[in-house]
Amino acid sequence: MGKTVIPFGPQHPVLPEPVHLKLVMEDEVIVEAIPAIGYVHRGLEKLTETKEFTQNVYIVERICGICSVMHAQAYCQGIENLMNIQVPDRARYLRVIWAELHRIHSHLLWLGLLADAFGFESLFMQIWRNREKVMDIMEETAGGRVIISVNTVGGTRRDMTPEALRKVIAVSEEIKEDMMKLEKVFMADYTVKHRLVGVGVLDKNTAYEFGAVGPMARGSGISQDFRTTGYAAYGELDFEPVIEKDGDCYARTLVRLREIYQSVDLINQAIGKIPEGEISVPVKGFPNGEVISRVEQPRGEVLYYLKGNGTKNLDRLRVRTPTFANIPTLLKMLPGSQLADVPVLILTIDPCISCTER
């Protein structure tokens, strides 16, 4: 049978960001997928070499809007390791709280986009209405909706008052309740199940071989969550990685749904244990040497390589983002699946192309 090549993207209604895939088709079935990225390259890694290491926090935050807190956190933790800075305890807890709020907002955004991808518009709107509560609480506590700029080398820039902390708990509980109601739609709805169950199955070994990270790996039964290594204040909190065994789109959706509840739980624990005290320490001197810093983002593990040379500028900053690690698994899942399932399959890796290309 003759083969057809269908270009998918970079502009496509289902794609929030530009990724291009050449889909080699036989009838309605995909035989091969050839990816092409490079549509939103902005040269941020090079830009960081011209700025001071304290200013770079604001550049790395802009690598990705949806996980900006974690980018800044990874960068700051790397520099703090290089310069042997002991971050105050309160700042470590505040970083956890803001990071988990960010994870909730990212997962809610993704669940909405998924509902949109299989054409369930009202579910999409319901989820994004809930997401607005997180955005509001972030604006109230940090001063910005998405790029909240709270991390700095040596701690955090803002503190939360006891009233703000109580409000964070109240709002996150409210989101949890709302999501409990909407969870039934994802778990039990016939249409949703029809589009997700058994689609894009990635078994445990393949996921491991192809280096899947984050919810992709956890949806395939790999217990891998970088937060368990206990960076920031995660070591003092009690949690287990969320795991589903099936490895299909449905399992990955469930992982992300349950991670929202996990984040709410982590926020509650962190607020319960947060100590009083300073939020940042003054930074003296310049970073010298090399370091690798890793943080768990909503999409998986991000890796920062930082090289300082004893001056105010860094020699090199290199980022490996979770989407970059997950693209091989996508290319593994696509062959053999139907053209109609492609949007859902691309979405389940939670692509963040502006991260990947920087």
Q: For binding to other proteins (CB under 8 A), which residues are involved? A: 51, 55-56, 58-59, 62, 122-123, 126, 129, 132, 136, 139-140, 143-144, 149, 157, 181-182, 184-185, 188-190
**Cα separation, 95 vs 217, whole angstroms:** 25
Does residue 162 have a cis peptide bond before it, meaning omega lies within 30 degrees of 0? no
Which residue's structure tokens are 């290594």?
Answer: 229
**Cα separation, 221 vs 244, whole angstroms:** 5
Provide the 8-state DSSP code for 280: B
3 state SS of 175:
helix
CB 222 within 8 Å of CB 242:
no
CB of 141 to other proteins, least distance (A): 9
CB 71 within 8 Å of CB 63:
yes
Q: Would you say 180 or 292 has its CB closer to other proteins?
A: 180
Amino acid at 297: Q
Structure tokens, 275: 């100590």
CB of 139 to other proteins, least distance (A): 6
Amino acid at 125: M
Q: How many helices, marked H, and strands, marked E, lie in the chain?
A: 13, 8
CB of 110 to other proteins, least distance (A): 19
CB of 44 to other proteins, least distance (A): 12
Q: Would you say 245 or 312 has its CB closer to other proteins?
A: 312
Q: Would you say 22 or 62 has its CB closer to other proteins?
A: 62
3 state SS of 200:
coil
Adjacent-strand bridge partners of 303: 294, 320
Q: Would you say 186 or 226 has its CB closer to other proteins?
A: 186
CB of 332 to other proteins, least distance (A): 33
CB of 196 to other proteins, least distance (A): 15
**Cα separation, 289 vs 83, whole angstroms:** 9
Q: Would you say 9 or 308 has its CB closer to other proteins?
A: 308
Q: Would you say 42 or 129 has its CB closer to other proteins?
A: 129
